[in-house]
Amino acid sequence: MAPKDGKSAYDSITGTDVPASEVDYSLEEILAEYGGGREKLLREVEEAADPDDIEAPLFRRRSEKTPNEACTAAPETGEESTGEPVEIPKSAEPAPDKDTGEDADLEAILREELPKSPQPISLEEVVGSTVDAVMEEEAEEPLLKRPRRGLFSRKRLVETEELYQRHEPEEPEEAAPELEVIGPEPELADTAEDFREEYRRRKRPLSAAFFIALVPCVLMGTEAYGVALPFWTGNPAAQTLLLLGCLLLTAALTWQVFAKGIRMLAKKRCTGELLIAVSAVVSAADCAARLLLPGRSEAMPYAAVSCMALVFAQWGCTRESRGMYDAFRAAAMDHDPPYLVTETEKGACKQLGAVPGFYTAAMRDDAVTTWQTALLPVILMGSLVFAGLSSLGQGRGADFLLNWSAILCGGAAFALPLCWGLPWSHLAAHLQKAGCAVAGWFGAEKISGRKSMILTDADLFPPGTIQLNGVKVFGEELPKAASYAATLTRCAGCGLHRLFDGLLRSECGSYETADDFSFYEEGGYSANIHGETVLLGTASFMRKMEVRLPAGINLRTGIFLAVDRQITAVFAVKYNASENVDFALRMMRRSHITPILAARDPNITPVLLKRKFHKGVKVEYPDLTIRVALSEAELDRGLPRALLFREGLLPYAETVVGSRRLCKAVRRAAALSTIGSVAGTLLAFYLVFLGSYSLLTPLALLIFSLLWTLPVLLMADWTGRY
């Protein structure tokens, strides 16, 4: 008779939904299954029978029950027995017993439903035959994948392996960071000499050009106060010829402004020098138009404004050359500089010095060139359109050059060529005196972009500021204690190494071989030396390492040495604050630059810095792993963004702080000069469109441009004062 749920007989017995052909049991599972099921079946038969109607022989041990009695019990499914017989193989049919009563009736029912076994089969034979069948099945179907089952588990394991590869949309690969290419670079000394000659060449005609450009300004200013000047007042031809002569002479003296504008245009750069040069050409053409065109208005040409714009442009080029000369002159002091400053993910980092890459970084475009290249072409083309609208659109074609020159002079602000050259020359001169050099705008922007600096032990406490005030030894000789302490400080690479190295030399000791060296966040180090566990660190570190300290020793900056958890020596260390370090920390705080403390000395903590320096010092104190990694970065050789030729924190801080101030000043000056240029263009267009030349006089436009230049001059001077 089949089970009610439609499962096979073997499924009813095992209580699983796995076909019998796919069942895979081990020998231990079979023994546990057969023994547990047989005992449960016999127990249920005894509970179902009435003890009063059954003779005494029926109450025997479970081991004496026959296999037929076990087969009539309910299967191990957790449900009550249905009373239906279960089919079993003939080879496993047990031998009948000669029992009476209910046993006899039960046996009769079994005899009707089940065939008789020709001979009794023992438990060992059943187990053996079952195991043989399983082994034969595995041998016949070696490639058949059986369900995954856990050991002694009734539940099938879920198959998590995917039989096919899902099609997922491909994510765009992140662009690899652009590698900085360093080509062949000339000698820094030769580059410095070239910029020196360029500086002298640009500076030489500057004074003469300024006095020539000042002549028409003085004449117009005097006339504005009501003073009549012979050969000038009321003589348009003389005014035009004088203005044209001054403009031509100024242009001849400042020819390098035209050369730079054309050279940058060949590099697809539009700078303030080009806009000023175009303004001078248009103003000269307007002077000629006033002399030759009878229909032109009687308004005075704007040549005086163009002359002064050429002077400011020449001054800006001169200061830029002087800044490059000072930077390369400082960089050429040593072919193997002691330190360089480069950028990291955490901020500026001082590393071992290297020169290659400094020239390439210094010769890159500055931010002012980038901004002007994007904005000045719009102003140039806008001035041309506005000139056409205000002249040809108004039916006054003869005033086209007049209007265009007025709009160009309003847009070509005097501050445009000064935004980079003036602040850069101030900073380069300041750093050259301090023994530093920054690689132009690119280097300054890189090292000051994250507004943080990585400081190590030697930066905060340079050699000579850490002293040893005394040593106390417990049960060991001083040379051995000095040897162990010097070995661990050398492995740690901290600022105490120099101190203990001097003590070791004075005691005629030697370094030992240390194994399994480790740092501890609690403030100490450990290593194995000659099979002994050596600990070196602060008092709190020793307490956490369960080292008993002697009573009566209270040293806030003491260093303790322990061997095999026994205190060996105590070193009284004193940290002296340096005035230069204190000044550098104050300067960094004023400039909002955060120091990142990457010290390996367990005593150098933010608490010690506030105690030794001003209380307002704030440092970032990362975890031990990060501190060690940042301190190891000092041993690398990155691309030089700045070069340092002096020891100590002050030159390092001056370089980073000065670079940050330079970037801020240049950005602000560029923004201010651009706003002034746009404002001048729009204002000049509005006035010439209305024909209000009496309001837009050359003198008024000159004062307007000078007022927009004054903030740039103040910011440039602010760059070198810190």
Give the CATH number for residue 470: 3.40.1110.10
d(CA 251, CA 246): 8
Specify if 500 maps to a domain: yes
364 and 405 share one domain: yes
481 and 437 share one domain: no
Query: What's the pLDDT score for residue 175?
Result: 45
Ramachandran region, residue 508 (left: φ > 0; alpha: ψ -120 to 50; beta: rest): left
- The share of the chain scoring above pLDDT 90, in percent, equals 59
Helix 649-690 × helix 418-434 angle, to 10°: 160
The answer, yes or no, to whether residue 141 has pLDDT greater than 80, is no
Contacts (Cβ under 8 Å, ≥6 apart) of 477? none
114 and 217 share one domain: no
Specify if 590 maps to a domain: no
Overall domain count for the chain: 3
Tokens of 65: 């029950």
- What is the pLDDT of the chain when averaged over all its residues? 80
224 and 341 share one domain: yes
Query: What's the pLDDT score for residue 121?
Result: 53
User: Sheet holding 642-644: strands in order across?
Assistant: 436-438, 642-644, 339-343, 348-352, 452-455, 594-597
Specify if 88 maps to a domain: yes
Contacts (Cβ under 8 Å, ≥6 apart) of 518? 525, 526, 527
d(CA 339, CA 350): 6
- Which tens digits make up the pLDDT trace of 10-20? 343 344 444 44
Specify if 93 maps to a domain: yes
- Which tens digits make up the pLDDT trace of 563-583? 999 999 999 999 999 999 999
438 and 569 share one domain: no
Of residues 47 and 246, more confidence is placed in 246
Burial class (CB in 10 A: 0-12, 13-18, 19+), 528: middle
Specify if 593 maps to a domain: no
The answer, yes or no, to whether residue 282 has pLDDT greater than 90, is yes
Query: What's the pLDDT score for residue 679?
Result: 95
What's the whole-number mean pLDDT along residues 578-593?
Answer: 93
- Which tens digits make up the pLDDT trace of 389-445? 999 998 888 999 999 999 999 999 999 999 999 999 999 999 999 999 999 999 999
Query: What's the pLDDT score for residue 132?
Result: 65
- Which tens digits make up the pLDDT trace of 325-358? 999 999 999 888 999 999 998 999 999 888 899 9
Query: Residue 74 — pLDDT band, cuts 50, 70, 90?
Result: very low
User: How many other C-beta atoms are found inside a 10 Å radius of the C-beta of residue 452?
Assistant: 20
The answer, yes or no, to whether residue 158 has pLDDT greater than 50, is no
50 and 197 share one domain: no
pTM of the entire predicted model? 0.72
487 and 443 share one domain: no
- The share of the chain scoring above pLDDT 70, in percent, equals 75
Boundaries of domain holding 506: 466-575
223 and 291 share one domain: yes
The answer, yes or no, to whether residue 487 has pLDDT greater than 90, is yes
d(CA 2, CA 268): 92
Chain Cα centroid distance, residue 86: 74
65 and 28 share one domain: yes
Query: What's the pLDDT score for residue 167?
Result: 41
Strand blocks (E) in 178-221: none
265 and 203 share one domain: yes
The answer, yes or no, to whether residue 584 has pLDDT greater than 80, is yes
251 and 329 share one domain: yes
367 and 423 share one domain: yes
